Amino acid sequence: MKHPDIVMAGGLVLIIVGGIAQGFFKEYIQFFDNEFKTPAMGLIILGAIILVVSFFGCCGARKQNVCMLNTFSFFLGLLLVMEIIAAITIAAYKSDIENEVARNMNTTMFKYGPNDTLATNAWDDLQETYKCCGTYNYTNWKDTDFSKDHQNGVPDSCCKEIKEGCGNGPLTTNPENIYTSGCFESLKASAKHNLGIIIGAAVAIAIVQEPLFQTPASP
C-alpha cells in the first residue's frame, strides 16, 4: 500500500509555502505585475488538489478498496508531472524578475504622494523594511514631483530616524541623515528567494512522491 498520509503532508507543505510567498508578493504588488502572484497561488491550488487526491488514498487504504487506490495512483502520477511543469514555469519567472522589478520601481516613484496611497505605502514600507532609499540610490528621487514639492527631498521613510519632514532637503544637504543605498537589490533578492522556495518545495514534494508512484497499489 502507498502512503497517502505522506502525500497529504506534502500538500499541506505546498499550501503553507505558497501562502507565505503569496503574502510577500501581495505586500509589494506595486512592484510586480500580477503574473508574479501566479506561482504562489498555483502552489496553493496544487497543494489543495494533493489533499483531495490523498483523501482517495486514505479511504482506499482504510476500506482496502483497490479501485480507490488505483485512482489515487493515477492522480499521484498526474500531480508528479504537474509539479515538474510548475517548477520549470516558476524558474522562467525567476529569470525575468530583474527587469520587471526595476521598471515598476521606477514607475511607481513618480506616483508617490497623496494621490496614490498604494504606491506611497508600498515605497514607505519597502524603504523602512530594507533601510534603503530609491531604486538604485537616494538620488533617484531627484526628478520626481514629490522631491520638487519637498525642498529637493526624499520621503521620510528614507530617514535613519523617521520624523515628520526629516526627508526634506537631503538631496542637497545632510544626506548622512538618510539611507543612501537603493532598494532594488534587496527587493530583487527577496523576490528570487521566495520564488526559489516555491521551486524547492515543488521539486522536493515531487521527489518524495516519485517512489510512492512507482510502488504498485494494493489493498
Cβ-proximal residues to 16 (8 Å cutoff; 6+ apart), any chain: 47
* Radius of gyration, CA atoms only, the chain: 24
Distance CA 194, CA 173 (A): 38
Distance CA 15, CA 40 (A): 9
pLDDT tens-place string over residues 11-37:
888 888 888 888 888 888 888 877 677
Burial of residue 137, with CB atoms counted within 10 A of its CB: 0-12 exposed, 13-18 middle, 19 or more buried: middle
pLDDT tens-place string over residues 38-81:
778 888 888 888 888 887 777 777 777 777 777 777 777 777 77
Report the predicted TM-score, pTM, of the whole model to 2 decimal places.
0.73
